[in-house]
């Protein structure tokens, strides 16, 4: 049965952190694990879920350090660690086969996990994410500047909302409401601060450790894969999407018009249509199982 609202659930990672996730019900169907971007949260997918929940058992993660998940005191915020957290989710729930969908940072997690766990992942959707070249894209540089210059606190909700709107000028009002509600919280003194580990993520971005070459992992993905690019994205270039499709045996890519890096915040209708078409195709082909 599909839930009208998700249940709040959690599990412990091997490192002892409690990770929160949303469970939308429909347990008889193939699990669809949703993984958000760098400064986002499990509710980021709330406007996407209604298109998919009748066909899939949707599980949406709060990646460590975000949303209602625990913060990492050691600032282990990197893709291999996030992949191990997904492994722990799979073990905790006893998942056998699943589909992954990730945006931005979540796309990198999806690439790495799908490549290294081919027997578990039957399909993947990678949203505005792919290997980075030696020279960062303009969008990657922009995000680094945003992380570096983002205030830790705001005097009021109005000022926090104005800051978010400045960063996401083309996002819908409903997307902004969800973002405001789930990325910020009020402190006892009335000021507003982030619900994610802002200082920890800043430290991890300043000291990222050895660079992971994602291309071998892209080439290692064997399941049907949809690559989604925002037509105005400054983070994920069309050339990279084309190269990924050429490197993967069962991949296609689509471009969503009038959308930047936060693709469905900008153009929910076209994003939902393309993603639902691909995921329902997996059900029709027997690759995924609906309830």
Residue 189 included in any domain: no
Give the model confidence (pLDDT) of 1-38 as tens digits.
555 689 999 999 999 999 999 999 999 999 999 999 99
Q: pLDDT at position 3, please? A: 54
What whole-number distance in Å separates Cα of residue 95 and Cα of residue 207? 34
Nearest partner of 70 among 24, 7, 19, 110, judged by Cα? 19
Q: How many structural domains does the chain have? A: 1
Residue at 81 is within a domain: yes
Instruction: Say what the pLDDT of residue 4 is.
Output: 66
Percent of the chain with pLDDT over 90: 85
Average pLDDT score over residue span 79-108: 97
Each residue of 240-265: pLDDT tens digit? 999 999 999 999 999 999 999 999 99
Q: What is the pLDDT of residue 209?
A: 74
**Total-model pTM:** 0.96
Does a structural domain hold residue 165?
no
Per-residue model confidence (pLDDT) at position 2:
57
Which strand ranges, in their side-by-side order, compose the sheet holding 153-154? 153-154, 192-194, 184-186
Within a domain: 160: no
Other Cβ atoms less than 10 A from the Cβ of 60: the count is 25
Quickly count: other Cβ atoms within 10 Å of residue 193's Cβ.
15
pLDDT grade for 71, boundaries at 50, 70 and 90 = very high
C-alpha span between 289 and 291 (Å, rounded): 7
Q: Could you read off the pLDDT of 156-213 as tens digits, one per residue?
A: 999 999 999 998 888 899 999 999 999 999 999 999 999 999 999 988 888 877 778 9
219 occurs within a structural domain = yes
Spatial separation of the C-alpha atoms in residues 283 and 196, rounded to whole Å: 35
As a whole number, mean pLDDT of residues 61-77 equals 97
Name the token pair of 176: 């902004």
Q: Average pLDDT, stretch 104-121? A: 98
Tell me whether residue 187 is in a domain: no
Q: Return mean pLDDT, the chain.
A: 94
Task: Find residue 2's DSSP bridge partners.
Answer: 25
Q: Average pLDDT of 45-56?
A: 96
Residue 144 to residue 137: CA distance in whole angstroms: 11
Segment 210-231 mean pLDDT: 95
Question: Residue 232 is part of which domain span?
Answer: 2-137+212-284
The share of the chain scoring above pLDDT 70, in percent, equals: 98
- In this prediction, residue 272 has a pLDDT band, given cuts at 50, 70 and 90, of very high
In a domain, 163, yes or no: no
Question: Is residue 197 in a domain?
Answer: no
228: domain CATH number is 3.40.50.1820
How do 153-154 and 192-194 pair as beta strands? antiparallel
Note the pLDDT tens digit of each residue in 151-168.
999 999 999 999 999 988
């Amino acid at each position: 049965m599909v839930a009208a609202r998700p249940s709040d659930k959690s599990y412990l990672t091997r490192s002892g952190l409690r990770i929160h996730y949303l469970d939308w019900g429909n347990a008889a169907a193939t699990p669809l694990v949703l993984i958000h971007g760098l400064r986002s949260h499990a509710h980021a997918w709330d406007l996407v879920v209604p298109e998919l929940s009748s066909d899939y058992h949707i599980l949406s993660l709060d990646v460590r350090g975000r949303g209602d998940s625990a913060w990492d005191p050691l600032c282990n915020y990197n893709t291999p660690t996030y992949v191990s957290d997904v492994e722990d989710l799979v073990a905790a729930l006893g998942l056998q086969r699943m589909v992954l969908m990730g945006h931005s940072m979540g796309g990198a997690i999806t690439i790495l996990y799908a490549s290294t766990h081919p027997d578990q992942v039957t399909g993947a959707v990678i949203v505005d994410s792919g290997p980075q070249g030696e020279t960062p894209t303009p969008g990657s540089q922009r995000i680094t500047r945003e992380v570096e210059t983002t205030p830790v606190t705001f005097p009021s909700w109005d000022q926090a909302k104005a800051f978010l709107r400045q960063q996401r000028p083309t996002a819908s009002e409903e997307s902004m409401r969800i973002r405001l509600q789930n990325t910020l919280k009020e402190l006892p003194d009335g000021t507003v601060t982030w619900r994610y580990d802002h200082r920890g993520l800043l430290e991890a971005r300043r000291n990222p450790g050895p660079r992971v070459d994602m291309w071998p992992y892209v080439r290692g993905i064997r399941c049907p894969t949809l690559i989604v690019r925002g037509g105005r994205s400054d983070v994920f270039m069309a050339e990279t999407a084309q190269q990924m499709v050429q490197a993967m045996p069962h991949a296609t890519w689509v471009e969503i018009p009038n959308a930047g890096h936060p693709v469905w915040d900008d153009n929910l209708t076209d994003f939902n249509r393309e993603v639902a078409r691909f995921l329902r195709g997996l059900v029709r082909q027997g690759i995924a199982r609906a309830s």
